[in-house]
Amino acid sequence: MSNAPLEDSGRTLVNLVRTTHPWTAADNAAGFVLRYLAPMRRILIQSLGSPGEADEALRKLLSHLVSAGFGKHRQGKLRDFLIKGIRSAAMKRISAMPEADAQATSLDELTPDSKIWLTFWREGLLERAWRSLERQEHATPEMPFYSVLHCATANPQSTSAMLVVQVAAEFKLTLDEQAVQSTLITARGLFAQVLADEVAETLQDPSDEDVKEEVALLGLSKAFIGIHVASKD
């Protein structure tokens, strides 16, 4: 993903701060955190070297969130809160490991600014955005936004004519070039909006600038190229 600035060409409108449910307002801490289980598990496997150990650490962390919630830590970025909890859970698992296994683990990547953590976090947000678009298509199959955008993303050099063939081959959908092009424009806007919502929900009282900054830091700006970014003002 590129770190280029958000572009504002007017093709599709996206509101960077549309959500009114940031993580700090979540009633169920453990339930909210379950959305981000995939990146959490990946970084724990990376550090503890074992899916089993990672799952045990996650179980302990989620159990703590069930009983204690977010507590006094409802501030800042969710990913920063989570990596601190992940590190604490990993340390407890290491202390319970046999000495040889404990020596093979590493906590070096369990920091808020760790490149691998930011990578896993970015991939987790993207995956959630893709799944949202896929669910929407399942609910309204006459609007194949996921299918068309998936093919266009996988084949960025494809023309509309080529995408017609690729969508038909992969998803068994019959579309003409005009339908593919109009669907693709809308799908890009929908994907960018879902991604903006995902980012905003992981920030405390987010502003447009907060979301822009997080999008750039995570390397998600490519999803907003060609998108008109609306201001709350």
- Could you report the per-residue pLDDT of 119-136, keeping only the tens digit for each? 999 999 999 999 999 999
Please state the pTM of the whole predicted model: 0.91
Percentage of the chain beyond pLDDT 70 is: 93
- Comparing 143 with 105, the larger pLDDT belongs to 143
Average pLDDT estimate for 218-231: 90
- Could you report the per-residue pLDDT of 155-204, keeping only the tens digit for each? 999 999 999 999 999 999 999 999 999 999 999 999 999 999 999 999 99
- Could you report the per-residue pLDDT of 49-73, keeping only the tens digit for each? 999 999 999 999 999 999 999 988 8
Instruction: Kindly report the average pLDDT of the chain as a whole number.
Output: 91
For residues 192 and 14, what is the distance between their CA atoms, to the nearest angstrom?
7
